[in-house]
Copies of this chain bind each other. A is one copy, B any other.
Amino acid sequence: MKFKCTKGIMNEAINIVLKAIPAKTTMPILECVVIEAYGDEIKLTTNDMSLGIETRLPAEIEEDGTILVKAKMIADIIRKLPDEDIYFEADENENILLFCGKSKFNFPGKSHEEFPMLPEIEKSKKIVISQFTLREMILQTIFSISNNENNKILTGELFEINGDEFKIASLDLHRVSIRKMQLKESYDDIKVVIPGKTLSEVSKILTGGIDDKVQIFFSKNHVLFEMENTVIISRLIEGNFYNINQMLSNDYETKVTVNKKEFLDCIDRATLLLRESENKPVIMNVKNNEIKMEMNTKVGSMDESIRSEKEGKDIRIAFDPKFLIDVLRVIDEEEISMYLFNSKAPCFIRDDNTYNYLILPVNLID
């Protein structure tokens, strides 16, 4: 095996496949990357058994071949090489020689035979979507997945396609986050649950803009994201997701509209009075054209009033400030509207068509 490639491109490619290298593993082979040289390109493959990544880059191949190398080590070496051509050789004993500029590295590789290569996925059901949009939709919902491995289904996100409507949703015990978009064409109905870990890595690899596309293929047990040079394959989480529509409601007694930044900054300040483990809610008094926000903790108290527009009844309601902050941070709009029913019923922060966030209030002992 013998090839030449440029440092910059190799560096970029290896950083993509690093995302499927497990932080801890009892199987050392999973810490390796498979380097395959054939024709006029190199293919890098990593696989942590639930997430696998393959990426291709152009190279001048002098001799075909495949080798396995510790991924973290070769990534570190390549990052620090001068910006010149990399000459890479592996002999029949899996010894690797790497030249770049005036430096020469020599280290052992491994046979690739035992590496679990990525499964073949049936490519019948798919959708096409902009990379930018998918990344945004993931980042706008992923904060409310659960970390509790005992209820596996909640550690993932629902991907649901109905005709030309695409929806991503996640939920934990206190809240539901939903983002929706209109697809350019209609597709077969799909409803799968994708691990949060996969989506977090996918969002980092999706660096493309609005016009760069990603194809998403769905099979019985896997999902496959295909971009220009990179393929990401992940297992799905088995089981049925909760019926989210049942949790939603369009009824309300009070609708309050506020400037998002003012509201977020105020809640942020209120949390300053919380010491480590303290778990005090922020209280909202919605009255006429202002919300009076209150926070009372062991350390001290804060109150602040915020301009708002109200429709319907006055209301006093309390929330875990973290849940409000999580939602407000991912909404791009300048103004947001909250729909409230009573102090014990969920609050909905939603617009007409693209987002709907449900947050349960905290009981106030009056």
Contacts and interface: CB of A to CB of B under 8 A. Distances in A.
Interface string A127-146: 00000000000000000000
Interface in A103-132: 103-108
B104 A303 contact: yes
Given A73-B299, A299-B73, A304 B268 contact: no
A88 to B, nearest CB: 14
A265 B82 contact: yes
A304 B102 contact: yes
A108 B73 CA distance: 53
A316 interface: no
A106 to B, nearest CB: 5
B103 A303 contact: yes
A272 interface: yes
B302 A80 contact: no
Listed residue (A102, A265, A305) with the most chain B CB atoms within 10 angstroms of its CB? A102
A209 to B, nearest CB: 33
Contact of A103 (B82, B105, B266): B266
Contacts of A103: 266, 269, 302-304
A303 B81 CA distance: 13
Secondary structure of the A contact surface, majority rule? mixed
Nearest to A70: B299
Given A103-B302, A108-B300, 12 more contacts: A76-B272, A82-B265, A96-B300, A102-B305, A102-B306, A103-B269, A103-B303, A103-B304, A104-B303, A105-B300, A105-B301, A107-B301
A264 to B, nearest CB: 11
A325 interface: no
A175 B299 CA distance: 49
By Cβ-Cβ distance, the 9 closest A-B pairs, closest first, are: A107-B300, A103-B304, A106-B301, A80-B269, A105-B302, A76-B272, A77-B272, A102-B304, A102-B305
Contact of A269 (B81, B300, B304): B81
A226 B102 CA distance: 50
A268 B96 CA distance: 20
Contacts of A104: 302-304
Interface string A74-94: 001100111000000000000
Interface string A285-325: 00000000000000111111110000000000000000000
Nearest to A104: B303
18 contacts: A77-B269, A80-B268, A80-B272, A101-B304, A102-B304, A102-B305, A102-B306, A103-B266, A103-B302, A103-B303, A104-B302, A104-B303, A104-B304, A105-B302, A106-B300, A107-B273, A107-B299, A107-B301
